[in-house]
Amino acid sequence: MSLWPAIFAVAVINVLFKALGPTVLGGRALPQRVRDVIAMLAPALLAALIVAEVAGAHWSKFDWTVVAGLGGAGAARLLRWPDLPAILCGVLVTILLRLAL
């Protein structure tokens, strides 16, 4: 079975959802509460994807050195480092911790 029909179906559904919004709303603005919820969906999804990738299914692949590396990258971003140096900082923290053990 090919993956292309599934990719095509997801693309079509995406286009339909994007067309549905203006059609249903008809130029009206969403209530502020709904806009606030929509604004929080992307960060929540990103956080869930990071946790799922770091911990694995049923927390079976949990590696605390990766968590420390994420912390290092997050700290670098809080210090307003650019993206690439912050990512490299996280990688370096992870590598150093793995070598130390």
pLDDT confidence of 30, banded at 50, 70, 90? Answer: confident
Single pTM value for the model: 0.58
Cα separation of the two ends of the chain:
44
Average pLDDT, integer, range 41-61: 87
Average pLDDT, integer, range 2-18: 92
57-61-64-68 Cα dihedral, nearest 10 degrees:
-70
Beta-carbon count within 10 A of 75 CB: 14
Average pLDDT, integer, range 77-93: 97
pLDDT confidence of 1, banded at 50, 70, 90? Answer: low
How many residues are recorded in the chain? 101
Beta-carbon count within 10 A of 86 CB: 19
pLDDT confidence of 22, banded at 50, 70, 90? Answer: confident
97 has pLDDT over 70:
yes
